[in-house]
């Protein structure tokens, strides 16, 4: 790993020149980032194929396209977002005067990416940081090694290190990285590592965004369109072999629809991936042996209805449906983050609300229903970060929606304008008109002033 102190020092010097405060400069750099995606598609596809066995269509749809849409939206709207805005000023206490809010960059931002969508989850926050005018140190996940190497190669070719620098570091080296002072830290990953990030940031009172995970429920009530729900669930769950932070972690299906749902889930799995998903080029692989062995232990829970096959050599686990599960089983004690889908049942929606709320707040929640009362009740009474009604995971593709968790599933939001705001600090200014000098707040405080003050309190 390069000397992190020297990188930070050089970035602070560059930031102090004021170059990144220019909106024209920011737009030029964002367009360079867009050029990377446009000019290096083949390399990106190859890297993700090697790391996660991703099909080219999956890479383009779920990584590159989301980044391109975010870039287009940001480039189009940046000048409007960054414009100093005037806000209201209380009357008569602060009259005459005016109040404004402006946005300024934090300074040197550290962005720590994740391995499951290693391009998307590294570059998406980078877009926000660049749009806000920060210098950035980018740390891709070392687990997705081919994508890490490609990001380092491309960023280094397009941007000077005093502006955007890419570092590589393993778990031990990250302790040194986190001991340094940054002006903002953005982390995507597990809650366990997120706690370490937060503890390190606390030493310097550095603001952070933590994009974590959790056990995201998918609820299917008695009114749901089961064939439709099955296809959206299978796609959202088994995309990237289940290694998606917002994938449905488990199903909560009404008892009366369970049999029908299972039939449709199996039918859809065969339709999408064939009788043997190992032969499908559309089905991913587990990132490494550590995660494979963890998932194999979780396979010991419940009764396997479909799937269950494992190949250690190719890091393959078949898409698996699991029945006869309770909250006490090991598979319900942690985020699965793999192609295992437990199925629980309920008889009344209040049971779902009670049981979900007894556990840490999930990053996402999905509900398949035609019942508007159930929809309103669940959205209002369960705390979660983001979600969908009658769909899965699509909220991440909407740059108009802030994305992030709550409680154990994260803190802070990003995407679109929210990313710009996250990586900016708001500067509030009140400007007094000197032509009118109101002196009544000054001492000495007389009875007459007190009388007027009481009048103002009722104003």
CA angle 377, 378, 382 (to 5 degrees): 120
- For CA atoms 126, 131, 134, 135, the dihedral sign is positive
- Note whether 135 and 41 are within 8 A (CB): no
How many CA atoms, within 13 angstroms, populate the side-chain half-sphere of residue 121?
A: 24
Helix axes 65-82, 120-131, angle to 10 degrees: 10
Reply yes or no on whether 282 is catalytic: no
Contacts of 381 (CB under 8 A, 6+ apart): 353, 357
Q: Are strands 97-105 and 108-112 parallel, antiparallel or unpaired?
A: unpaired
3-state DSSP: the chain helix, strand, coil percent, rounded to 5? 45, 20, 35
Residue 126 phi, psi (nearest 5): -60, -35
Of 211, 218, 335, 388, which is the active-site residue? 211
Of 245, 388, 392, 421, which is the active-site residue? 245
Contacts of 254 (CB under 8 A, 6+ apart): 220, 221, 222, 224, 345, 346, 347
Reply yes or no on whether 211 is catalytic: yes
The residue written with tokens 């799937």 in the block is: 307
Closest CA to 139 of 105, 107, 170: 170
- What is the rounded distance in angstroms from the CA atom of residue 254 to the CA atom of residue 301? 21
By annotation, the residues acting in catalysis are 211, 245
């Amino acid at each position: 790993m390069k000397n992190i102190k020297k990188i930070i020092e050089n970035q602070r010097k560059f930031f102090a020149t004021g170059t990144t405060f220019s909106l024209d400069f920011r737009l030029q750099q964002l367009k360079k980032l867009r050029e990377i995606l446009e000019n290096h598609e083949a390399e990106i596809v190859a890297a993700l194929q090697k790391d996660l066995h991703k099909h080219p269509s999956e890479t383009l749809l779920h990584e590159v396209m989301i980044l391109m849409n975010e870039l287009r939206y940001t480039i189009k709207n940046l000048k409007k977002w960054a414009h100093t805005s005037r806000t209201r000023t209380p009357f008569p206490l602060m009259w005459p005067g005016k109040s404004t809010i402006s946005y300024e960059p934090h300074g040197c931002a550290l962005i720590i990416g994740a391995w499951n969508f290693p391009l998307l989850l590294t570059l998406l926050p980078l877009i926000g940081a660049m749009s806000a005018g920060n210098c950035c140190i980018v740390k891709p996940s070392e687990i997705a090694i081919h994508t890490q190497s490609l990001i380092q190669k491309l960023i280094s070719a397009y941007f000077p290190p005093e502006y955007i620098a890419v570092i590589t570091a393993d778990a031990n080296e990250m302790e040194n990285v986190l001991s340094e002072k940054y002006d903002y830290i953005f982390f995507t990953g597990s809650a366990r590592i997120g706690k370490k990030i937060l503890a390190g940031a606390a030493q310097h009172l550095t603001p952070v965004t933590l994009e974590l995970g959790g056990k995201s429920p998918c609820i299917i009530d008695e009114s749901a369109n089961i064939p439709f729900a099955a296809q959206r669930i299978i796609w959202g769950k088994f995309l990237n072999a289940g290694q998606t932070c917002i994938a449905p972690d488990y199903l909560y299906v009404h008892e009366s629809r369970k049999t029908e749902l299972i039939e449709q889930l199996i039918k859809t799995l065969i339709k999408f991936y064939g009788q043997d998903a190992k032969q499908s080029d559309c089905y991913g692989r587990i990132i490494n042996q550590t995660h494979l062995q963890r998932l194999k232990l979780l396979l010991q829970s419940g009764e396997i209805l479909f799937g269950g096959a494992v190949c250690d050599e190719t890091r393959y686990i078949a898409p698996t449906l699991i029945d006869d599960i309770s909250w006490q089983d090991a598979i319900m004690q942690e985020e699965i983050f793999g192609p295992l889908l437990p199925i629980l049942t309920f008889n009344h929606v209040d049971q779902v609300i009670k049981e979900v709320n007894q556990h840490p707040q999930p990053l996402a929640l999905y509900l398949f229903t035609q019942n508007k009362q159930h929809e309103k009740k669940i959205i209002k009474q369960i705390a979660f970060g983001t979600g969908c009604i009658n769909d899965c995971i699509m909220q991440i593709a909407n740059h108009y929606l802030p994305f992030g968790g709550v409680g154990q599933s994260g803190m802070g939001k990003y995407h679109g304008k929210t990313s710009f705001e996250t990586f900016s600090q708001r500067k509030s200014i009140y400007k007094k008109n000197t032509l009118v000098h109101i002196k009544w707040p000054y001492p000495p405080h007389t009875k007459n002033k007190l009388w007027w003050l009481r009048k103002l309190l009722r104003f």
